[in-house]
Amino acid sequence: MTTLRITINGRAYGPMDVRDDLTMNDFLRESLGMTGTKFGCGAAQCLSCAVIVDHPDGTSSTSPTCVVPAASFDGKAIRTVEGHAKNGELSALQKAFIEHFAFQCGYCTPGFLNEAQVLLERLARAPVARADLEKTITEALDGHLCRCTGYIKYHEAVRSVILADPGRYLVAKVDR
């Protein structure tokens, strides 16, 4: 057993005792009833189970949850798909996913949403040139599998959010 303290979507949970073999995915879905985080391959191959981890230095990244013990998240702050909408208002990414028909069955969507959010936060810290944007999005979403093959629509949705606020996410064009 491990005593777990964790912050999820800004809310503190614990201290609570968790079995050492309890995965983070089971902790979220079974212990907390937060079923927005999906379970796909169960082998760290599809990332449908990915959540956002907020690091002390202000950066963020995603982590699979299917093969990772809940206990290893002790002391950490994470975000799940349930945390994106604020006061009932969908995030810009969520709206773009809908507007671009980015998902079909939706099973992979929480993972794509979390990855895209991490990308937005990275670009807000370190903008890229417009010429590098397509490659940047492709590389960021790489590793997320969609059995309904919605890759292009996800890509277009993420691009639309970035292009809607170029001053925030892109390096300013220099006039010569």
Choice from 69, 83, 110, 150 touching ligand FES (CB under 6 A)? 150
Q: Does 98 bind ligand FES (CB under 6 A)?
A: no
114 vs 169, beta carbon nearer ligand FES: 114
* Cβ atoms within 10 Å, residue 16: 15
Choice from 6, 18, 24, 49 touching ligand FES (CB under 6 A)? 49
d(CA 73, CA 84): 20
Q: Does 110 bind ligand FES (CB under 6 A)?
A: no
Tell me the window of 9-17, 38-46, 78-86, 91-99 that interacts with ligand FES (CB under 6 A). 38-46
Q: Does 12 bind ligand FES (CB under 6 A)?
A: no
Q: Positive or negative, the Cα torsion across 75, 81, 86, 92? A: positive
Which of helix, strand or coil describes residue 51? strand
Q: Shortest Cβ distance from residue 141 to ligand FES (Å)?
A: 12
Tell me the window of 15-23, 72-80, 145-153, 155-163 that interacts with ligand FES (CB under 6 A). 145-153
d(CA 19, CA 148): 35
